[in-house]
């Protein structure tokens, strides 16, 4: 009997299109001698729709069904995804996917799933919470001002002027793919940047901008944690925004990153430390800033990083000798292991 792998994709967050690409990549790479794949699309409104089933590798022109191709009337109750013995891969990014909500739901259903548990997902989804938690174990991070709710904006602008130096980056606390983020060069633009970020969350942070290379480490494991050599996102844009990530393809990846040995060792050490501190499980991509002087800061932990065959996370593992299809198998096994510990 082949094991059933359930892919959940789409989702309610602003990152749903990225999720479709990641899920499509997974559906093509799964080892079909071991698994059948059943896919469920989650619409923008949060409806669950049963989409496709694959017993073998789909044709190149086969695409996952999305909003435009799916019968929205065919929606099911979310709990109808349940199937005894199946493993779920929530290939979802951003709020309502990467933040612990779907993970909690799957635990209630008593289903094994791939990726972060409830704590790891909820802590890492919130950039302010992540800073608090990682501060306690001495992970280097850039200075910031947290803005909780919109009433305190005037006061917070003053706090930014007093404590940070322009440019600064304004970000919704809970988001990804650079959605809602702006680079702010002077104080008179700050309020607009804050309003933009508040469209996505009522928790916003203003971060000290750093002139730095962006270098990332992939982490894999439950209690036994492994970290890859780091890779660099080489960009010739002011910042790595949504367009440069997914539309213009203006990014190249340098794997392994050309950094000195001591920096490399430190990045891998702090990636693992950060992962363990947030109770990481399954996988995460730990993103750092590295300055010319060799100073480094952890920018964020992505608990369900972009997962297409050409995304940084799988490429970092490929460089360590773990190809994409085997990485998926490893993640399935880690998901089952975490399930056994829970149940």
Site string for ligand ATP, 125-164 (x = CB under 6 A): -----------------x----------------------
User: Where do runs of H (alpha helix) occur along the chain?
Assistant: 16-29, 101-108, 118-125, 127-135, 153-163, 190-198, 242-246, 261-277, 312-319, 324-342
- Smallest distance from the beta carbon of 287 to Mg ion, in angstroms? 5
* 3-class DSSP state of 42: strand
- Smallest distance from the beta carbon of 271 to Mg ion, in angstroms? 14
Q: Which of residues 234-253 bind ligand ATP (CB under 6 A)?
A: 239-240
CB-CB contact of 183 with 206 (8 Å): no
Question: What, of Mg ion, ligand ATP, none, does residue 175 touch, CB below 5 to 8 Å by kind?
Answer: ligand ATP
CB-CB contact of 88 with 115 (8 Å): no
C-alpha to C-alpha distances, 126 to 99, 203, 306, nearest whole angstrom: 8, 9, 17
Q: Per CB under 5 A, does 176 bind Mg ion?
A: yes
Q: Which of residues 296-315 bind Mg ion (CB under 5 A)?
A: 300, 302
Give whichever of 112 and 209 is closer to ligand ATP, judged by the CB atom.
209
Instruction: Provide CB contacts within 8 A for 87, sequence distance 6+.
Output: 3, 4, 5, 6, 111, 112, 113, 114, 332, 335, 336
Site string for ligand ATP, 27-46 (x = CB under 6 A): --------------------
Q: Which of residues 174-233 bind ligand ATP (CB under 6 A)?
A: 175-178, 181, 207-210, 214
Q: Per CB under 6 A, does 98 bind ligand ATP?
A: no
* Nearest-angstrom CA–CA distance, 228 and 12: 31
- Smallest distance from the beta carbon of 167 to ligand ATP, in angstroms? 8
Instruction: Report the interface residues with ligand ATP, using CB under 6 A.
Output: 142, 169, 171, 175-178, 181, 207-210, 214, 239-240, 287, 299-300, 302
């Amino acid at each position: 009997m082949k094991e059933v792998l359930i892919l959940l994709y789409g989702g309610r967050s602003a990152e749903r299109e990225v999720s479709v690409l990641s899920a499509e990549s997974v559906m093509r790479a799964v080892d079909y001698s071991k698994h059948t794949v059943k896919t469920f699309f989650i619409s923008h409104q949060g409806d669950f729709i049963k989409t496709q089933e694959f017993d073998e590798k789909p044709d190149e022109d086969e695409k996952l069904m999305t909003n435009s191709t799916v019968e929205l009337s065919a929606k099911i109750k979310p709990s109808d995804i349940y199937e005894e013995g199946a493993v779920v891969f929530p290939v979802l990014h951003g709020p309502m996917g990467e933040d612990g909500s779907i993970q909690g739901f799957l635990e209630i259903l008593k289903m094994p799933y791939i990726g972060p548990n409830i704590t790891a997902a909820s802590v890492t989804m919130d950039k302010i919470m992540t800073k608090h938690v990682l501060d306690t174990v001495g992970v280097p991070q850039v200075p910031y001002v947290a803005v909780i709710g919109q009433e305190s904006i005037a006061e917070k602008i003053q706090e930014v002027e007093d404590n940070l130096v322009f440019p600064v980056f304004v970000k919704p606390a809970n988001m990804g793919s650079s959605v809602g983020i702006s680079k702010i060069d002077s104080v008179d633009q700050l309020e607009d940047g804050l309003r933009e970020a508040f469209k996505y969350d009522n928790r916003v942070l203003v971060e000290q901008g750093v002139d730095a290379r962006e270098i990332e480490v992939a982490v894999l494991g439950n209690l036994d944690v492994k970290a890859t050599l780091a890779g660099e996102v080489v960009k010739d844009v002011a910042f790595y925004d949504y367009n440069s990530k997914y539309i213009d393809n203006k990014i190249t990846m340098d794997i392994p990153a050309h950094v000195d040995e001591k920096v490399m060792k430190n990045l891998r050490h702090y990636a693992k430390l950060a992962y363990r501190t947030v109770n990481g499980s399954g996988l995460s991509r730990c993103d750092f800033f590295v300055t010319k002087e060799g100073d480094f800061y952890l920018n964020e932990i992505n608990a369900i990083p972009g997962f297409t065959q050409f995304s940084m996370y799988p490429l970092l593992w490929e460089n360590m000798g773990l190809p994409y299809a085997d990485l998926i198998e490893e993640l399935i096994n880690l998901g089952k292991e975490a399930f056994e510990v829970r149940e």
